[in-house]
Each structure stands twice: as structure tokens, then as C-alpha cells.
Amino acid sequence: MFVCICKGIRKSDIETLARKGGQGSEDIKKLTGAGTECGTCELRIQRVLKEIQSNSTSTNISDKEDVAG
């Protein structure tokens, strides 16, 4: 799925960058240029980052339960 059509940035591109340390939408903008042309993708970028964060939090909780279990 394309998140930024202007720059051709896919959701998978943002996911990869987030795993490598891109923390917020400003980081993603600097690294990819997404959100710097027309700006309509800014909310999509934020949603993808929130989804990644949510999945990461769920994984961390599951890991702690496995260790405690």
C-alpha cells in the first residue's frame, strides 16, 4: 500500500525505517521525503507509526508474559 504517492513511499518502507530507529513522522519525512510535497499523506504516516508502536507494545507484553509464565 502506498502511503505517499508523491514520493512513492509504501507502508513497508515506513515499517522498515521505523524498525531501524525512525521514531516519528518528522524522522520519516527527513528520511523519505514523504509528506513534503502535497502533505495529504501526513495522517497516513502517523497512523502507520501508531500501528507499529501498538504492535511493538503488544509484542513486549507477550514477551514479558512468556518470561513470567
Supply the pLDDT for residue 60. 56
Report which residue type is found at 7.
Answer: K
- Which of the 8 DSSP states describes residue 1? -
Domain ranges of the chain: 2-68
φ/ψ of residue 10, rounded to 5: -95, 160
Tell me which CATH code domain 2-68 carries.
Answer: 1.10.10.1100
Q: What is the pTM of this model?
A: 0.75
Q: Where are the beta strands (DSSP E) in 1-69?
A: 2-4, 9-10
Q: Express each pLDDT in 11-60 by its tens digit.
A: 999 999 988 887 789 999 999 999 999 999 999 999 999 998 898 777 65
* pLDDT surpassing 60 at residue 69: no
What is the Cα–Cα distance from 33 to 6, expressed in whole angstroms?
9
φ/ψ of residue 2, rounded to 5: -80, 130
